[in-house]
């Protein structure tokens, strides 16, 4: 299993550690791909992450997670399937990567993928975040990220870094939403004229059209960050166009919460969302004919 954390999440994030522990108990080997510059990960080049930046994921899968490499590393008798699990923002990056590999007609080095509570339509998710308290928290973390890597961030191409960092009241510290951060940093850095253009380019409904492996997309109706799930007809149209895509919508769960009763939470028992992930993994492994050896 390869886990892609959500926005500014990492291998030490609670939900990632919980998922890794659960998957490990179920017999899966787990790795986590940290986003460049997040937590203790250094930002050594003037290149930040985004929902359309797939270079790191492509490099890791091609150079470190090929079927032969995994088989040799784990010393197993037969090839093991490699399945990716993308949480929230990480799920958007995962979809983008799968779509690009399909367009290029190149192997993804993945057997299947699970996308968990991702903002499948970033334009809609941005609108939802602007009407919630979570947006302010995310932009504070993005500003802290930029400030922590200020030396490298000042070298970002296509970004007005003087406006962002210089003066008595630098713009960076006056940003009040994720969209404002994307307007002045992410979008121009990646060649987009606006956040809306950037969000449209990252849309999972576009990326998944060319995914060449089975992809399970999971959403919750009461997700306070991603907002109301996209209309079911959009999913039906996508699934009819690409049979590799399956969509499951949970009646509740929040944003990756799916809290169980207090005792179950204290005992670290799998919640409804995690049970769905485990069920999907067992189905995938059955399809691949993997018996765990």
Mean pLDDT of 87-114: 98
109 is catalytic: no
255 a catalytic residue: yes
Structure tokens at 2: 């390869």
DSSP labels, 108-160:
-S-SEEEEES--SSHHHHHHHHHTSSHHHHHHHHHHHHHHHTHHHHTT-TTS-
Question: From the candidates 109, 184, 189, 255, which is the catalytic residue?
Answer: 255
Confidence band, pLDDT 50/70/90 cuts, at residue 293: very low
Please, which pLDDT band fits residue 133 given cuts at 50, 70 and 90? confident
Domain 2-121+203-288 in this protein, CATH class? alpha beta
Query: Domain ranges in the chain?
Result: 2-121+203-288, 124-202
Catalytic residue among 121, 126, 182, 223: 223
How high is the mean pLDDT of the chain? 92
Q: Which of 11, 50, 88, 111 is catalytic?
A: 88
| Range name among 26-35, 76-85, 152-161, 257-266 with the lowest pLDDT average | 257-266
pLDDT, position 262:
67
50 is catalytic: no
- pLDDT band at residue 201 using 50, 70 and 90 as cut-offs: very high
User: Taking 80 as the threshold, does the pLDDT of residue 266 lie above it?
Assistant: no
């Amino acid at each position: 299993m390869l886990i892609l954390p959500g926005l500014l999440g990492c291998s030490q994030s609670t939900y990632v550690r919980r998922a890794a522990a659960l998957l490990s108990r179920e017999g899966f080997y787990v790795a986590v791909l940290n986003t460049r510059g997040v937590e203790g990960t250094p930002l050594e080049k003037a290149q930040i992450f985004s929902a359309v930046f797939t270079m790191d994921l492509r490099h890791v899968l091609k150079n470190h997670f090929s079927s032969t490499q995994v088989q040799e590393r784990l010393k197993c008798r037969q090839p093991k399937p490699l399945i990716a699990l993308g949480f929230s923002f990480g799920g958007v990056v995962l979809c983008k990567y799968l779509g690009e590999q399909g367009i290029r007609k190149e192997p993804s080095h993945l057997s299947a993928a699970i996308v968990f509570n991702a903002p499948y339509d970033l334009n809609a998710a941005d609108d939802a975040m602007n009407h919630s308290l979570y947006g302010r928290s995310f932009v504070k973390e993005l500003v802290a990220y930029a400030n922590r890597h200020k030396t490298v961030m000042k070298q970002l191409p296509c970004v007005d870094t003087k406006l962002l960092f210089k003066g008595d009241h630098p713009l960076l510290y006056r940003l009040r939403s994720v969209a404002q951060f994307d307007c002045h940093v992410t979008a121009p850095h990646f060649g987009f004229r606006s956040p809306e253009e950037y969000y449209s380019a990252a849309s999972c409904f576009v990326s998944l059209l060319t995914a060449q492996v089975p992809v399970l997309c999971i959403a919750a109706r009461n997700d306070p960050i991603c907002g109301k799930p996209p209309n079911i007809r959009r999913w039906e149209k996508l699934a009819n166009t690409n049979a590799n895509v399956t969509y499951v919508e949970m009646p509740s769960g929040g944003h990756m919460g799916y809290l169980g009763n207090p005792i179950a939470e204290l005992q670290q028992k799998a919640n409804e969302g995690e049970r769905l992930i485990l069920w999907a993994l067992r189905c995938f492994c059955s399809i691949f004919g993997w018996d765990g050896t």
